[in-house]
Structure 1
């Protein structure tokens, strides 16, 4: 995955996009959307490799955690492993 390798206990995540409309079909304006809290793990730091967190898993993370980065016109999030709340199994 990309050329971004997190350091130590950090995880590189591709945040999933916020919903554009509700289940009932109501369109949500941009300024009313909540910050997404779900993403896919793209890469893990050296000290995360021996945990249950694996590349490719969908996870739920704290609302205002991490650092947003833009790399080659793509948006990513680097967060500490303790900011991941759950693994989403579908």
Structure 2
């Protein structure tokens, strides 16, 4: 199970190295026809998220810093599980390594 931390403001969280702070999209709690879905049906995290903040990058084997491949505001595809959970009030955010992000979603 991933560690969880609680903060008063998401602005106080600054990712280090190649870490990426994201907020997953929330699953719909009702269908298009207006039927409310039970919590158990919406418990699986959605694979899409919005990038909130990124670290400066991590050094490669030569010591050169390789920047992260995403930037704040990007929509990304995440693995089904993983990351470190961060709670800010009722909002939940996750920290992933840049290499764990599966894809950037182009609009």
TM-score (norm 2): 0.70
Which stretch of structure 1 is more off in the superposition, 53-62 or 25-34? 25-34
Residue 90 of structure 2 is aligned to residue 87 of structure 1:
no
| Pick aligned residue for 2:52 from 7, 30, 42 | 42
C-alpha distance after superposition, 1:56-80 (max 9, x if no partner): 0011100112011113x13211111
State which of 10, 14, 30 in structure 2 corresponds to 1:5: 14
- Aligned residue for 2:21, secondary structure, equals strand
How far, CA to CA, are the matches of 2:99 and 2:75 in structure 1? 15
Using the TM superposition, give the Cα deviation of residue 37 of structure 1 relative to its aligned residue in structure 2, in angstroms: 1.4
| Bigger Rg, which one | 2
Cα separation, 1, equivalents of 2:55 and 2:69: 13
SS at match of 1:31: helix
Structure 1 spans left out of the alignment, 5+ residues: none
Structure-1-length-normalised TM-score = 0.82
State the Cα RMSD in Å: 2.1
> Does structure 1 conserve the Cα–Cα contact (< 8 Å) formed by 2:54 and 2:68?
no
SS of the equivalent of 1:2 reads: helix
- The alpha-carbon deviation at position 54 of structure 1 amounts to 1.2
Q: Which sections of structure 2, spanning at least 5 residues, go unmatched?
A: 1-9, 59-65
> Within 2, Cα distance between the matches of 1:25 and 1:64?
29
